[in-house]
Amino acid sequence: MEVLRNKDTGQPVGVVGQRPSAASKVIMLVIAIVAAVGWAMIALHRGEAINSVWLVAAAVGSYFIAYTLYSRLIAYKVVRPRDDRATPAEQHADGKDFVPTDRRVLFGHHFAAIAGAGPLVGPVMAAQMGYLPSTLWIVLGVIFAGAVQDYLVLWVSTRRRGRSLGQMVRDEMGRVGGAAGIVAVIAIMIIIIAVLALIVVNALAHSPWGVFSIAMTIPIALFMGVYMRYLRPGRIVEVSAIGVIALLAVGIIIVRPEVQMPAITRFAREGGGPVFSGSLFPFLFITIACGALSGFHALISSGTTPKLVEKESQMRMIGYGGMLMESFVAIMALIAAVVIDRHMYFVMNAPATLTGGSADTAATWVNSLGLPGADLTAQQLSDAATAVGEETIISRTGGAPTLAYGMSEILTDVFGNAALQAFWYHFAIMFEALFILTTVDAGTRVARFMMTDTLAAVPGLRRFRDPSWTPGSWIATLLVCGLWGSILLMGVSDPLGGINVLFPLFGIANQLLAAIALSLVLVVVIKKGLYK
């Protein structure tokens, strides 16, 4: 959108759109054809091995079409952005919470905040059901649900001075409904943060290189700061986490690994499985939360990102585009899981109560599942652990080690040096840990804001309304960290690794939060008469 202004007064007098050029139309047509071919190859290869490149083509092409056409339709029909309208960042600029931010910087900030464990771990665990249901839900779910939610919640919050989800629920649904909504949102947030932290714990547990991998982030972060400040100022993408996913995508295109997992497994039909128990519906949609539809994103899209938006026209790129990028991460994670040997996949993701914890018992157990292909030997399990520099890869539940193993195999094939597989594995573990801990940090901050709002509503505790009151911030932070820390302790103490119990709870809580956010958006759209 472009705002037309009076030359003398500078006042806005109209808004005009930008028509696509002939070249952009041709590019869009080519991408649409690539996407159509990708979906056709997925649909036609029944009972046959399919190349993972077609999954990438179908997903990326669909994302491009959705962003170019569908998101613009939403902007035109519902959002109606106006760059002449001052955003909260401009109205209340204080250099702290309200700061007009460059759209590229804000896109990276928003993406880092929303893209935690969900798009990395959920698709890996859902691979138990096969690649087809997961691919359909990740791609179609984000286009018609997840990205729409993020975009519209960002729009509503920006138009309301950057108010949080809980505050907007209270505004639209009354005091009683709003209070219930805020309590529910806080409880859901605590569960989500605890599970995110548990995934990092499981990824680093029993790893001799775990401490080293995390410790290396400190000098790397210092180098990144010098790099962006002096060597390549403004080159944010070059040091972004998105670059790791792009590297994996390039590796998949070069190596073109075949998908080892069938389109739909018997575990999807029977409603059980060693990774997690549950039927295709609703557990597919619970397991793959982030990457398709995530209620957690509504907390970032309200109260946090709206305070940084520079222009309303940038909300489409940040809200809708940011969620599409996360969905791309989910597709990459799914591919990394389904291209490894399916025997190895189940050994890594099944709890120790099934595998027995040793190479001999794990090989015996996984071979008893009757999976197609050659049986797995105990020596192969030992060799695989040695190749990635681990003592064992058996029952490394949580999905993160499986993703790291798949990434290490793909990137090792790209560079043709088997000696580097251990490096790529621990590089992936470090990437996942930072990816997830960034979301834990953002989630704890958002939960602290909501906790102070809740405490301020209690008679005698109105001092918590003052954001400059430092003791109030400390108390709220301690409460939030104590609550999610206690749930994390329960997960660590669980003999099944915690994931089997807590991750479904995480998915359920996340989708309940999405239901609250979508209900809010629906109420706003109906009240404004924008549904026609």
The dihedral built from the CA positions of residue 386, 414, 377 and 47, taken in this order, carries a sign that is positive
Structure tokens at 22: 């002939």
Work out the widest C-alpha separation in the chain, in whole angstroms.
Answer: 82
Residue 130 half-sphere exposure toward CB, CA atoms < 13 A? 21
- Stated pTM of the model: 0.85
Closest to 192 in 3D by CA, of 451, 449, 505: 505
471-to-288, 341, 442, 474, 476 alpha-carbon distances in Å: 38, 53, 20, 5, 9
The dihedral built from the CA positions of residue 471, 476, 479 and 481, taken in this order, carries a sign that is negative
C-beta of residue 179 within 8 angstroms of C-beta of residue 328: no
8-state DSSP, 170: H
Looking at residue 70, what is its pLDDT?
94
Residues 6+ apart with CB under 8 A from 256: 51, 52, 53
Closest to 240 in 3D by CA, of 228, 251, 254, 258: 228
Looking at residue 220, what is its pLDDT?
83
Looking at residue 451, what is its pLDDT?
86
* CA 13 remoteness from chain centre: 40
CA dist 193 and 117 (Å) reads: 10
The dihedral built from the CA positions of residue 115, 120, 121 and 124, taken in this order, carries a sign that is positive
Give the domains, in start order, of the chain with CATH numbers: 87-256+273-360+376-528 (1.20.1730)
Closest to 170 in 3D by CA, of 444, 445, 453, 449: 453
Using one digit for the tens of pLDDT, what is the confidence trace for 138-169? Answer: 999 999 999 999 999 999 999 988 887 877 87
CA dist 214 and 220 (Å) reads: 10
Cβ burial of 205 (10 Å; 0-12, 13-18, 19+) is middle
Total Cβ atoms within 10 A of residue 152? 25
State the helix-helix crossing angle for 378-387 and 359-367, rounded to 10 degrees: 120
Q: Is 366 helix (H, G, I), strand (E, B) or coil?
A: helix
C-beta of residue 313 within 8 angstroms of C-beta of residue 1: yes
| 503: β partners | none
CA dist 367 and 371 (Å) reads: 7
Looking at residue 7, what is its pLDDT?
60
Q: Is 64 helix (H, G, I), strand (E, B) or coil?
A: helix
**Backbone dihedral region for residue 161 (phi beyond 0: left; psi -120 to 50: alpha; all else: beta):** left
Closest to 445 in 3D by CA, of 309, 310, 306, 300: 300
Run of H or E residues at 474: helix 470-493
CA dist 75 and 55 (Å) reads: 28
C-beta of residue 146 within 8 angstroms of C-beta of residue 465: no
Q: From the first residue on, what is the mean pLDDT of each consecutive set of 10 residues in the chain (532 residues)? A: 55 57 83 91 79 93 94 90 87 81 86 78 89 94 94 93 81 74 81 84 76 81 82 67 83 91 86 81 84 87 88 93 92 92 90 87 90 88 90 84 91 88 88 82 82 81 77 88 88 66 78 88 86 64
Residues 6+ apart with CB under 8 A from 54: 37, 38, 41, 42
Run of H or E residues at 364: helix 359-367
Q: Annotate 82-113 with DSSP letters as a single string.
A: -TTSPPHHHHT--SSS-----HHHHHHHHHHH
